[in-house]
Amino acid sequence: MAPSKHDPKLTDHDDALLAAYVDGVGELTPAERRAVEAQLPARGAEVDATRDLLAALRDLPGEGEEPRWTELAARISAAVGDRVPRPWWRRVLVPATAALALAACAAVYIHGRGGDAPSVPEAAPTAMNAPPHVADAAALNDTVWLDGQAVELGALDPSALADLEGDHGDDDVIAGALLPTPDLAWIDDLDAAGLAVADRWLVDRKGT
């Protein structure tokens, strides 16, 4: 049995979708379509009358005399000009973004330079603790790293240099055990026989 207009399952909303169904079934939701289609058998005459009325309305001749579209388009084109306007927020946003980017770059640059500048008072202890390096070639002309200390060559006492040259640490102890280094001048006075004796002494010494 076809549902009547007073079917309790149908709402007023469903009842009022008939014209929309007749005019554009594709624009109804599946639920709306099912609801209307359930009423169709009982509303056949209304469907036909609605269809006829909509067709008559669409057949109405247009009101007034249409302008010449090409001329109107040309008028509009001339009125608006050639330059594409940008909305206010784009006019503001682009310069603002550029300014922010510039400010960010400047901040990074300043921060980078600022990181070096305060290190001036700390440079001395840092240099003292750090191992010597060859990056500062100019500094090597004046300063050397010696026994854990930066030594200014220009300001150094020559006697201190002599002391430094005589201090060879453990290596000198080993050398002293092999040869009497303070008495090396006698080698120059040896003749051939003396050199032969010295060679034999060295061979014997190595053998022991």
Partner 1 sequence: MDVSVFGDLLRPVIAEGDLDRDLVARFQAGERIAFDQIVRRHQKGVWRIIRRYLRDDADAADVTQLVFVRAFKALGGFRGAASVRSWLYRIAIHAALSWIRDHRREVATELDDSALVAQAVAPAEIDRGRDSLRLRAAVSELPPKQRLVLELRVFDDLSFKEVAELADCTENTAKVNFHYAVKRLREILGGALEA
Site residues (vs partner 1, CB under 8 A): 13, 16-20, 23-28, 30, 32, 49-50, 52-54, 56-58, 60-67, 69, 72-73, 75-77, 79-80, 82-90
Q: Which is nearer to partner 1, 62 or 169 (CB)?
A: 62
Q: Which is nearer to partner 1, 18 or 144 (CB)?
A: 18
Q: Whole-number minimum distance, CB 74 to partner 1, in Å?
A: 9
Q: What is the 3-class SS of the chain, one letter each residue?
A: CCCCCCCCCCCHHHHCCHHHHHHCHHHCCHHHHHHHHCCHHHCHHHHHHHHHHHHHHHHCCCCCCCCCHHHHHHHHHHHHCCCCCCCHHHHHHHHHHHHHHHHHHHHHHHHHHHHHHHHHHHHHHHHHHCCCCCCCHHHHHHEEEECCEEEECCCCCHHHHHHHHHCCCHHHHHHHHHCCHHHHHHHHHCCHHHHHHHHHHHHHHHHC
Q: Which is nearer to partner 1, 98 or 105 (CB)?
A: 98
Q: Whole-number minimum distance, CB 89 to partner 1, in Å?
A: 7
Q: Whole-number minimum distance, CB 138 to partner 1, in Å?
A: 56
Q: Whole-number minimum distance, CB 102 to partner 1, in Å?
A: 24
Q: Which is nearer to partner 1, 69 or 188 (CB)?
A: 69
Q: How many CB atoms neighbour CB 156 within 10 A?
A: 13
Q: Whole-number minimum distance, CB 93 to partner 1, in Å?
A: 11
Q: Which is nearer to partner 1, 58 or 113 (CB)?
A: 58
Q: Which is nearer to partner 1, 9 or 13 (CB)?
A: 13
Q: In this structure, are residues 36 and 61 in contact, taking their beta carbons and an 8 Å threshold?
A: no
Give the dihedral of Cα atoms 62, 68, 74, 77; nearest 10 deg.
-10
Q: Whole-number minimum distance, CB 36 to partner 1, in Å?
A: 10
Q: Quote the CA–CA distance of 91 and 101 in Å, as a whole number.
A: 16
